[in-house]
Amino acid sequence: MTTNPNQALAVKTVLVAKFPKPPDKELADAMAVLALRPSANAAAVVVEYATDLGEQDIGALTDALSASMEATGVGDMRRAEDMLLGQAHALQAIFLNLARRAVTQTQLKQWEATLRMALKSQNQCRLTLETLAAMKNPPVVFARQANINNGGQQQVNNGSPPVVAPAANSSAEQTGLLEKSDDDWVDTRTASKAGRNDPHLEAVGKVHRTAKR
């Protein structure tokens, strides 16, 4: 087959978009790390909502939040517990305010809406206290465990044992494993080797046995 020299091969060009390199690579990397810090992210939100407490410095908030997170990381949950208790008190205040406002409503629609929000605040307060109680006194889980050691291979079985229903005629089934009658005796002869007609009955070789761990 002769190739036509005038025929040009079409080459597909794949364009890859890349971000331009920053003028200061070290500064850009540092700002990227700061933008992903959980304490800095939380501080950016707190500084917008904590205006009633005065003007906040985002750097000071970041440092304070970082110290609190480090304490939580080593198992000190006092700040988290205090936070939940404070939120429960705040929700209780919201519930009381809305409940009092509901009494003054003269229209059924406004009364129902205000009272519904009050009950939602009360329920959220209850859930917050339940979470705090679970942190202070975590539930105890009882699990049944059986350790079985067979030849150096240890097996651990967790959970409740299966429930076995009683047999309808246990005595008949037990005797049926041996002899059904006096004329039906158990075959005590040596097992013969598998023949050509029954190759699937042949014993499994050593290569198929489970390896020890």
pLDDT tens readout for residues 83-109: 999 999 999 999 999 999 999 999 999
Higher pLDDT, 127 or 200: 127
Residues 72 and 83 in one domain: no
Residue 156 lies in a domain: no
**The pLDDT value given to residue 13:** 81
CA 1, CA 4: separation in Å to the nearest integer?
Answer: 10
Residue 58 has pLDDT above 90, yes or no: yes
Residue 168 has pLDDT above 60, yes or no: no
CA 61, CA 100: separation in Å to the nearest integer?
Answer: 36
Residues 69 and 82 in one domain: no
Number of independent structural domains in the chain: 2
Residues 71 and 83 in one domain: no
Joined tokens for residue 196 = 């050509």
**The pLDDT value given to residue 152:** 59
Residues 94 and 111 in one domain: yes
- 109-142 burial by CB neighbour count: b if 16+ within 10 A, else e? eeeeebbebbeebbebbeebbeebeeeeeeeeee
**The pLDDT value given to residue 6:** 57
Residue 153 lies in a domain: no
Does this model's pTM top 0.95? My answer is no
Q: CB–CB of 136/80 below 8 Å?
A: no
pLDDT tens readout for residues 69-80: 999 999 999 999
Q: Which of 56, 76, 96 is the last residue of a domain?
A: 76
Write out the residue range of the structural domain in which residue 87 sits: 77-136
Residue 112 lies in a domain: yes
Residue 149 lies in a domain: no
Residue 175 has pLDDT above 50, yes or no: no
Residue 43 lies in a domain: yes
Residue 15 lies in a domain: no
CA 183, CA 162: separation in Å to the nearest integer?
Answer: 37
Residues 38 and 63 in one domain: yes
**The pLDDT value given to residue 95:** 98
User: Which distant-in-sequence residues (6+ apart) come within 8 Å of 131 by Cβ?
Assistant: 84
What does R_g of the chain's alpha carbons equal in angstroms? 38
Q: CB–CB of 55/61 below 8 Å?
A: no
